Amino acid sequence: MIGRTTLLLSLLLLAGCQAAFFGSVNLRQPAGDVVDHRDITYNTTYALALDVYAPPHAEHAPVVVYFYGGSWMSGKRQWFRWMGEALAAQGVVTVIADVRLWPRTRLDGFLHDGAEAVRWARDHASEFGGDPSQLFVMGHSSGGQIAAMLAMDKQWLATVGMTPRDLAGFIGVAGTYDFIPFDEPEFYDMFGRTPEDEARSQPVNFVDGDEPPALLLQGEKDTIVYPSEAIALEGRYRQQGEPVELKLYPNLGHEKLLLAFGPLKARAPVLADTMAFIHRYSGSPSH
């Protein structure tokens, strides 16, 4: 279960400085040989856009659609340029998409927007040197829940003419997969108050043996999204005989696990573990 009181307080305290913080992270990301394509509209109805980060001269590269965290309440794709560049520097065409956030929308809106971003990536991957048959979804924290639901609950990708089996894999970074009961009013508004509403927001409830392979990255010191959530999802995958890898990193909390992809990369081999997974399930050669 998420430590949601802590999470909400953190969001309130950091709301005024998140842009500055992620701006500094972007500045600290070493300049790499990456081609960026920004501010591409993928949903005209809600004016939703995405950014694409690609290796130069890419051909048949794996593709990752990344959903950022923020408790479904905050975040902007521009803040995570460093993540797009970190993955693109490893040979991955990376799509970072905005989705509508609460209170503008609720669970169905988050997931509908996410599904549209994934379909856009499949349709347009080749324009950036990506291979649509090597399409992964990835997310951190609440973004991990969005990515996991797209990979596990068939109804969402079905709305855009896809299935979870169209994905090469799912990568969760301290994702929220098994977080009922809720203990904050905002979450009741996002997901619903009835047991049925609560259950339909939990990725663990949709693992039925027809999912793409999963990589679960989790800090053992995380007090925002507890390791038990990743362990629970790993258990559901194993019950169904589905490929799953759980990587637990000692002495890392919620934010430091994420930042280990960029400025704190010496703390844990999260990027190397992610690339090994992508290479394993995309058929692309390892670096």
Enumerate the domain spans of the chain. 4-282
List the chain pLDDT tens, one digit each, 287 residues.
Answer: 444 444 444 544 455 577 676 777 766 666 568 999 999 999 999 999 999 999 999 999 999 999 999 999 999 999 999 999 999 999 999 999 999 999 999 999 999 999 999 999 999 999 999 999 999 999 999 999 999 999 999 999 999 999 999 999 999 999 999 999 877 788 888 998 899 999 999 999 999 999 999 999 999 999 999 999 999 999 999 999 999 999 999 999 999 999 999 988 888 999 999 999 999 999 644 33
What DSSP string describes 111-126? HHHHHHHHHHHHHHGG
Nearest residue to 172 via CA among 53, 273, 25, 29: 273
Cβ contacts of 174 within 8 Å, gap of 6 or more = 69, 140, 141, 144, 217, 218, 219, 222, 224, 225, 230, 254, 257, 258
For β-strands 48-54 and 35-43, DSSP reports them as antiparallel
Cβ partners under 8 Å of residue 283, min gap 6: 134
CATH number among 3.40.50.720, 3.40.50.1820, 3.40.50.300, 3.30.70.360, domain 4-282: 3.40.50.1820
Residue 264's pLDDT is 87
Residue 229 — φ and ψ, nearest 5°?
-70, -45
C-alpha–C-alpha distance, residues 249 and 228, integer Å: 13
Structure tokens belonging to residue 111: 């997931």
pLDDT for the residue numbered 13: 46
Can you point out the beta strands (E) in the chain? Answer: 35-43, 48-54, 61-67, 93-97, 130-140, 169-173, 214-219, 244-249
pLDDT at 28: 64
CB 212 within 8 A of CB 128: no
pLDDT of residue 33: 86
Terminal C-alpha separation, the chain: 37
Question: Secondary structure of 40-77 in the HEC alphabet?
Answer: EEEECCCCEEEEEEECCCCCCEEEEEEECCCCCCCCCH
